[in-house]
Each structure stands twice: as C-alpha cells, then as structure tokens.
Structure 1
Amino acid sequence: MSALVASAALAPAVLLASPAFAADAKAPAVSAPDAGSKTADEQAVADREEILRLMEAKGAGSSVKERGTKAIDGGPAAMRKFIEEGQYEARFEDDRVRVAQIASVGGRSVGEAARRALNVGTRESVKEFLEVGQFKARLDDYRVETLRIMHKGGPSVHEAGSAALNANTLDALEQFIKVGQFKARNVDNRVAVTTLINDGGPKVRAAGIKALLGTPEDVQAFLDKGQFEARKLDEADAAAAKDKDKDKGKGKDSGKKDEADASKGTATGTGKGTGTVTTDAGSKPVTAVAVDGQAPASAGSSLASTGAGSALPWAAGGTAVALAGGAGLVVAARRRRV
C-alpha cells in the first residue's frame, strides 16, 4: 500500500482542547502491492516509513507506539498487518484511555458523559464523545462553575460572570474561570480595602495603604489576615490611652483631697483665745490656750455660773487664786482704816 493511501486512513486524536478522533469502526481494505510495481524489499521499506510516521503523529498514544515498534521488529509481514488492522485496534485503546483522562480532569457533566461512552464501549460512542460530547458537557460544567464563582464574588466578579454566561461559549466561560474572575476579584478587593481604611484606626489605615500599593496577593492577604492583626493593635492602643486618662483623673482627685485635708488641719490646729473673768475685785482678762486640739472659748464669753461649760479646769483654778488675792487686799485695807 502506498504512503498516500495509509495517510488517508489515519484519523488524528487530540486531547481536551482539540477534537479527538477515534478510529473508524472498520479498517478500509488495503490491496496488496502489485508484484510488478514494487518488490518485497521496497514494500517493506515503505511500510516501515509509514509506521514511523503514525507513531510520531500528533496525538499518537502509547498503544500505537508500542504496537508499531513491535511490528517493525517483527518484519515485513508484521508491519503489513499493523498497517491493515493493528493501527486501528491500537488507536481505539488509546482513545479509551484518553476518554478516561478527560473524565478525571473534567467536571461532573464531563465525567458522566465519559462514563456513558465507555460503558457503550464501541468505536462510535468513544469517537462521538471525543469529537462532540466532551465539549457539550464541558460547557455545562463551566456554566455551573461560573455561577459558583459569582455567588462568592463581589459586584465586579458578578458583572464579569454574567457577561461570560450571556456569551455562552466555551472560550468566554473558560476565559472568565481562568483569568477574568481574578481580575474582577482584585477590583472588588481594592474597594473593600478602601472601605476598611476609611473606617479603621491608625494601624488599619497604614496596613491597608501598604497593601494597596502592593500586588493583588498583598491586597488579598490584608483582607484575609492583615486587617484583623492591625485592628488588634488599634484596640490595644485605645485601651492603653484609656487607662492613662484614668490615671490622670485619679491624680487630680488625690490633689484635691490633700488640699481639703490641709484646710481642715488649719481650722482645727492649736490656737489661743482670750476672755474676761469677773470677780469681787473687778474684771481681769484671762488668756485661754487650747489643749489636745480643743478650741478655746471665744473672746468675750463669760464663764458659766456653775463653773462648767467651755471654761477649762485651769481657768477655774486661776479664778480662785484671783479671788483669794482680792479678798486679802480688802482685809488689809480695812485693818489700816482701824
């Protein structure tokens, strides 16, 4: 078989992003080379070159490579059999492996569609999944993922997600999931940081401004952790300032109390008072001294007739002495007159 015929029989398979093509259900008939056109050696050389090309083609799987290598090692007959039959069997095995790989990295819808194709187990079901089914299922998964991101995001994320859903294409939804959501989230995060700066204390403002001047990762780190650490520092500073104000208030109250005690001490301190004691010999001034903190009688007050009251014991004794002296003077005067 010529290289041109074998090339036309090959269907390339591409994983994930590009459509993958399974082998045809039946291999096309390949006629034996005309005896007069090519010799056996020439045919063997051509078959070998074709197998190498199949093995190096984009999307060739491990089965194609392994079986192709064995066919080359097996000689002309083995190479001819691989080209006529073996390549399709090997490609079908590789396509089944590729379906399983797509299911392992896809979403829920992709996984379900892949399992259905493998359960049917025909070349047609596998080919349909690789060429069409995986992309329909991926579109459903992308829509679900976009809605999930929008639910957790802010206004900018919601707006970008809505635009992708309205476009309803794999490219638009994939671009939002892989790139757009992060750009939109950064916008929302910066708005959130600005709000915290306006409402926060000195430490929160300083940390927020520093985050805004940094990378999107710095902004996210501030929202996740930094704002709370800065707020604790602001609260600690506020508590310290409050305690300081209380200490100042206590100092002022203590000073006022000391002044009041000083004034009270002056009023009750030791002092002297004067009074007048009246006797038969006349009136004489008497000076009273406070004893044991007792205030003396006020000036000008007279002693009680009973000897009790504000006059002190020593005052009474002084009065008695004065009276005795006065009486002695009276007796002496009378004697002189006699």
Structure 2
Amino acid sequence: MKFTRISTVVASAAIAPAVLFASPAHAADARQTAVTAPDAGSKTPAQQAEDDRLELLRLMASKDAGPGFKEAASKALDAGPAAVREFLEVGQYEARLQDDRVRVAQITSVGGPSVKAAGRKALETGTPEAIKEFLEVGQFTARNIDNQVLVSKIIDAGGPGVREAGKKALKGTPEDIQEFLDKGQHEARITDNRVLAAQIVSVGGPAVKAAGRKALEGTPEDVQEFLDKGQYEARKKDEADAAAKDKAAKDKDKGGKDKGEKGEDKKGGGEKDGDKPEPDASKEAGEGTGTATGKNGGTRTTESGSDPAATSGGTPLASTGAGSALPWAAGGTAVALAAGTGLLVAARRRRSSEG
C-alpha cells in the first residue's frame, strides 16, 4: 500500500509541470490566431469592392463564360459593389446553369438520334448535375453511338476503299471513327471514284472516253462531276451519233437497191416497147414448118409441134393466132403448090409429045 501511494504521488508530480506549461502555450496560439484573422480581413470597403470588380471581369473574360453569364455580370457591374458581391456569391451559378441549358439545347438540335435523346432527358431532369453530366460525358457517349451508325451507312453505300477504311475505323477508338467521318471517308472515296471512272471509260463510246479522260486529268471534283452528270451526257451523244450512222448506212443500202430496181424496170420496159429482137425467120421456117401431101396430090405446110392433126393425116385445124412465122409458112405453101403445078404441066406436055 505504501509503495502504491508513493507511485501515484510520483506520477502526479511528473505530469504536473507538463500540464501547467502546455496551457499557456495553447492560450498564446489562440491569441495569435485571433490577432491574425483581423489582419486577413482588414481590407477597406473600397478595396474589397475593387477586388470584387476585378474578379468579375476575370470571370467574364474566361472561355467558359456564356452569353447569359456575361449579360448578368454586366448588369451587376452597373448596379454597384453590393450587386457585384451578390453575383459572385450566388448569381453567377444561376447564370452559368442557364447558359448550360442553352448549350444542351443547341447540341441536341444538331445531334444524331442518340444525342437528341440524351439531351432531352437532361433538360427534362433540369438539375445542374444532369446538365453538367450531359455536357461533360453524356453528349460524347451518345455522339459516338450516332457516329458508329453513320459509318455503317457510309460503308454500305461506299466503294471498296471506303468500305475497307470504314470497317477499320469501327474497330478503333471514338477518335478513329470521328477521323474517318471528318477525313478518311473522303480520301477513300476519291480513290474509288477514280477507279470507277476508269472502268466507265474502258467500256464507253468515243464521247464517254473523251469526257472521262478529261475528268481523270483534273481534280477530284471533276471526277465526281463526271460520275454524277458528265458520263450520262456523253453517253447520250454517243447514242445519237450511233443512230445517225446507222440511219446513213440504211439510207445508202436503200439507195443502191432503188437504183438497181430502176435499171431493171428500164430494161423490161424496152422489151415491152418492141425493142426485143425478132427471132431468125429462116431458123423458125426450117424448124417450125413442114410439108404434107393432101388428098388431091398437093402439099401443105404444117407447124411442127403445134398441129397434131397435120402429122397424123387428119383435117388441119384453123389457126387462131397470128404468130411471126405465119407469113413465112404461107409463102412456103404457095411455092410448094406452084412447084407441084409446074411439074404436073411438064408431065402432060411430055406425054403429048410422046403420043
């Protein structure tokens, strides 16, 4: 018991000096703080007003100051130091929120489907947090979705080069997709257009070839104009030229045929007008006549191959036509009759002289 009491007394004696000396030190620090605080806020009202004015001017010049903020700040400056102080403490945040709402509406109006949906949702929520989240994060996420959809559409409608570049962009970052939309697709399309124009030239007519080669020697805009309009105008010219040549060839062929037909008609007309040469009379007389003995001992001529009754000894039929050989046949008959009569007379005289 004695040792315990002694230990307690010793411990108390050891701690007492520390407690007694520490208290004055803490009090001194408190006094020093109280003295320093008045020094920090020792600006005069005029100095404070000037500092507030300069701070407001600095905020107005910052890049994130919107139209609403600047307008409200200008009104505060005109109203005096109290209005400036009130704007710095409260009004600036309300003005910034109003500017942010305007920015959200502007972004939504020109954005794609996803951006529009996200922007409308933020405006309907209306809180500063929702508006800030859309401006800092939401709009970019939604825009990337819209960009992916747009790249897919471009790929579907593009040529080989555009399709390849677009697929590569979709596998990359949002920045890669934006770069394709801003630049890559146009470079790839220029290459595709030149290839397509060369293909059209290779199978086109003279006018198409000339127009296509001229476009390929020019700018990308010239090539695009050829693909959009020039090739069709040149093709119409080629078709018109081909039709004109075909018509000229047909007219030429028709003219030759008409000339030949006119020559044949002229030749045929001469024969009809009596220009056909008459057959050889002697040949016809030798080939077409013959003699036959009549009942009275006389002779008659027959036209071979034309009077079956004459060759068979029957009664000859009357001729009903006036051929060219008829006069010669009649003459031959007369000669034959005369000759027969002469022979008969000579025979009778010979008999008389003998008797």
* TM-score when normalising by structure 1: 0.73
Residue in structure 1 matching 2:103, options 91, 98, 102: 98
Q: 1:273 and 1:85, CA in 2 relative to 1: closer, same or farther beyond 3 A?
A: closer
5 Å-filtered alignment, 1:117-196, equals: 117-169=122-174, 171-196=175-200
List gaps (5 residues or longer) in structure 1: 1-31, 277-295
Give the aligned residue type for 1:196. Answer: I
Counterpart CA distance in 1 for 2:280 and 2:122 is 127
Q: Distance in 2 between matches of 1:275 and 1:130?
A: 124
Q: CA RMSD in A?
A: 3.4
Q: CA deviation at 1:318?
A: 6.2
Q: What SS does structure 2 have at the residue aligned with 1:178?
A: helix
Q: Residue 116 of structure 1 is aligned with which of 105, 114, 121?
A: 121
> What is the aligned partner in structure 1 of residue 243 from structure 2?
239
CA deviations over 1:137-177 (Å, ceiling 9, x no partner)? 111111111111111101100111111111132x2111111
Match of 2:313 in 1: none
- Aligned mate of 1:87, from 85, 92, 96: 92
1:268-321 deviations in whole A, cap 9, x for unaligned?
624345546xxxxxxxxxxxxxxxxxxx95665326476736346766786798
Query: Of 204, 208, 211, which residue of structure 1 is paired with 2:212?
Result: 208
Q: Report 1:1-338 matches (<5 A).
A: 37-169=42-174, 171-261=175-265, 264=268, 269-275=275-281, 297=284, 301-302=288-289, 304=302, 308=319, 310-311=323-324
Structure number with larger C-alpha Rg: 2
Change (3 A) 1:159 1:272: closer
**Count of matched residue pairs:** 286
Matched AA of 2:288: S
Q: Would the aligned equivalents of 2:207 and 2:238 in 1 still touch at CA under 8 Å? A: yes
Once residues 124 and 273 of structure 1 are traced to their aligned partners in structure 2, the CA distance between those partners, rounded to angstroms, is 126
Counterparts of 1:110 and 1:91, CA distance in 2:
22
Q: Which amino acid aligns with 2:61?
A: E
Structure 2 distance, partners of 1:82, 1:148, is 49
Partner of 1:17: none
> For 2:57 and 2:232, how far apart are their aligned partners in 1?
63
Q: Report percent identity of matched pairs.
A: 49
Over 3 Å counting, the alpha-carbon distance change for 1:272 and 1:163 in structure 2 is closer
CA contact (8 A) 2:284 2:325 kept: no
Q: Is the CA contact 2:104–2:131 (under 8 Å) kept in the aligned structure 1?
A: yes
Letter in 2 for 1:225: K
Q: Deviations over 1:190-228 (max 9, x none)?
A: 111111111111111111111111221221121122111
* CA apart distance, 1:257: 3.3
Structure 1 pair 40–210 and aligned structure 2 pair: CA distance change class (3 A): same
Q: Which moved more, 1:207-216 or 1:257-266?
A: 257-266
Distance 1:274 1:75, change over 3 A: closer
Please list every run of 5 or more consecutive structure 2 residues that lacks an aligned counterpart in the other structure. Answer: 1-36, 290-300, 303-309, 311-315
TM-score, with length taken from structure 2: 0.70
Secondary structure of the structure 1 residue equivalent to 2:138: helix
Counterpart code for 1:185:
R
Residue 60 to residue 34, structure 1, CA distance change in 2 (3 Å): farther
In the alignment, what sits opposite 1:12? none
The whole-number CA distance in structure 1 between the counterparts of 2:176 and 2:116 is 22
Partner of 1:9: none
Q: Taking structure 1 as reference, are residues 320 and 145 closer, same or farther at Cα in structure 2, changes over 3 Å only?
A: same
The structure that is helix-richer by fraction is 2
Q: CA deviation at 1:74?
A: 0.9
The Cα shift of 1:42 comes to: 1.3
Distance 1:327 1:141, change over 3 A: same
- Contact 2:285-2:325 within 8 A present in 1 as well: no
The 1:115–1:275 alpha-carbon spacing in structure 2 relative to 1, beyond 3 Å, is closer
